[in-house]
Amino acid sequence: MKEKQLQEVMKKIEAAKTEIRAFIVGQDEIVDQVLWTIFADGHALLEGLPGLGKTMLVRTVSDVMDLEFSRIQFTPDLMPSDITGTMMIEPSEDGKRQSFVFHEGPVFANIVLADEINRATPKTQSSLLEAMGEKTVTVMGDTKQLQKPFFVLATQNPLDLEGTYPLPEAQMDRFLVKINIDYPSKEDLKQIAVNTTGTKTQSLSKVMDASDIIEFQQLALELLVADEILDYAVNLVMATHPENEFSSESVKKYVRYGAGPRGLQSLIRIAKARALCSGRYHVSKGDIKQAAKPVLRHRLFLNFEGEATGIASDEIINEIIETLGFDLS
């Protein structure tokens, strides 16, 4: 990758951030993490209470990137065929014959917003597994290829709300990152009120398209990871397992099992995407640190004592980083 090419990539990414942040106030870190996920060719799970702008964020990202957008509102009565599509019998033009014709579901888009994914039953949730993992959909034995690029950005309410179903562990691992969205600050709340309750309207500019994103994904894969950084990433993932020599006291006490090989792959992919967004040819120590929480927080499964104590995964990850004693500044 040449310096000029890297600068052009950075220019487009910064332009995208500027457009998104004009609509999404006070969530700069969240915006960054969503963009890292897209450039790492992964899927994101956004968790937060209703009304915090999760759906608007996904819509804004798709508009700025000029991607085909589709929304699936997950409800308890949603069926798998409502997501993937279905075969329907239709007559021929002359009306003499009938044949099966496939009608695409909303999963056939570039960005699929799986809104309130934990409102649907586990059977329906699992219908996204093949699409997320293989980027294909199989209906009645016929396999269909999904569009490129393809991302699932799912939103979820905290599990202590009524009417929610915990995502299966296998599906949680399909998400490259889990992004937690908190309440905005006082100043951000004021700005949101100013932006959304007056007569002034804002328009979005499209600063990149699908071909740009595919190019950026390939460039991110080409970035270098030094052996020292790779060793640290491996130790970080291994330290999420209670029986490992690198694990902290909290891991040994509260964690049932931690991240696997996919967790390590995800950590490196997000770190590479962050390095690309920062205009660097290699992954730094800071990239690993910033990737650790969104990548690992949903890959730590607590034991009974951990669940009863209410300890947060982020606390455990912080302790792991401190235990490893690696300067990630």
pLDDT score of 35 more than 90: yes
> Average pLDDT for residues 79-103, to the nearest whole number?
81
pLDDT band at 322 (very low <50, low <70, confident <90, very high): confident
Closest CA to 319 of 276, 274, 258, 278: 258
Task: Render pLDDT for 237-295 as a digit per residue (tens, 0 to 9).
Answer: 999 999 888 788 899 999 998 998 999 999 999 999 999 999 898 999 889 989 999 99
Give percent above pLDDT 90 in the chain. Answer: 46
Cβ atoms 310, 263 nearer than 8 A: no
**What's the mean pLDDT in 98-114?**
88
The better pLDDT of the pair 140, 135 is held by: 135
173, pLDDT greater than 70: yes
- CATH architecture observed for domain 223-329: Orthogonal Bundle (1.10)
pLDDT tens string 220-242: 999 999 999 999 999 999 999 99
Residue positions counted in the chain: 329
Distance CA 207, CA 222 (A): 23
Given a cut of 80, whether residue 304 has pLDDT beyond it is yes
Average pLDDT, the chain: 87
Residue 142 tokens, joined = 């016929």
Least confident of 57-71, 90-104, 213-227, 263-277: 90-104
- pLDDT for the residue 97: 76
Query: What pLDDT is recorded for position 323?
Result: 83
Residue 36 pLDDT greater than 60, yes or no:
yes
Tens-place pLDDT, residues 181-209: 888 888 888 888 887 777 777 778 888 99
pLDDT classification of 136: cutoffs 50, 70, 90 = confident
Provide the token pair at 256: 């049932």
What's the confidence (pLDDT) of residue 328?
41
Q: Which of 55-59, 67-71, 266-270 has the lowest mean pLDDT?
A: 55-59
Residue 300 phi, psi dihedral angles, 5° rounding: -100, 120
Q: Which residue has the higher pLDDT, 6 or 271?
A: 271
Residue 138 pLDDT grade (very low, low, confident, very high; cuts 50, 70, 90): confident
For residue 329, pLDDT over 50 is answered with no
Check pLDDT > 70 for residue 1.
no
* Residue 122, C-beta contacts closer than 8 angstroms, at least 6 positions apart: 165, 168
pLDDT at 160: 61
